[in-house]
Amino acid sequence: MSITKPSTFLSNSISTISGTVSNLNNELLEYVNPEKPTHDHSSQYYQRFFISKFNLGETAIEAKFSFPMKIADGDQVTVSGYPKGGAFQVLAYNNQTQQVASNENWVVLGLGALFFLAVAIGLLNSELVAEGALIPKVFLFGFTVVALYMGYRALLIREAIKLLSS
**Same domain membership, residue 115 and residue 97:** no
Range of the domain at 71: 2-102
**Of the listed ranges 32-46, 83-97, 105-119, the one predicted with least confidence:** 32-46
Task: Assess whether pLDDT exceeds 70 at residue 15.
Answer: yes
Q: For the chain, how many structural domains are there in total?
A: 2
Considering the domain architecture, whether residues 21 and 88 belong to the same structural domain is answered as yes
Sequence-distant (≥ 6) Cβ neighbours of residue 14 within 8 angstroms: 6, 7, 80, 81, 82, 91, 156, 159, 160, 163
Out of 102, 126, 150, a domain closes at 102
Checking if the pLDDT of 80 tops 80, the result is yes
**Global confidence as pTM:** 0.78
Claim to verify: residue 92 and residue 37 sit in the same structural domain: yes
* 65 and 134 belong to one structural domain: no
Query: Comparing 62 with 125, which gets the higher pLDDT?
Result: 62
Residue 52 pLDDT: 93
Based on the fold, state whether residues 10 and 56 are members of the same structural domain: yes
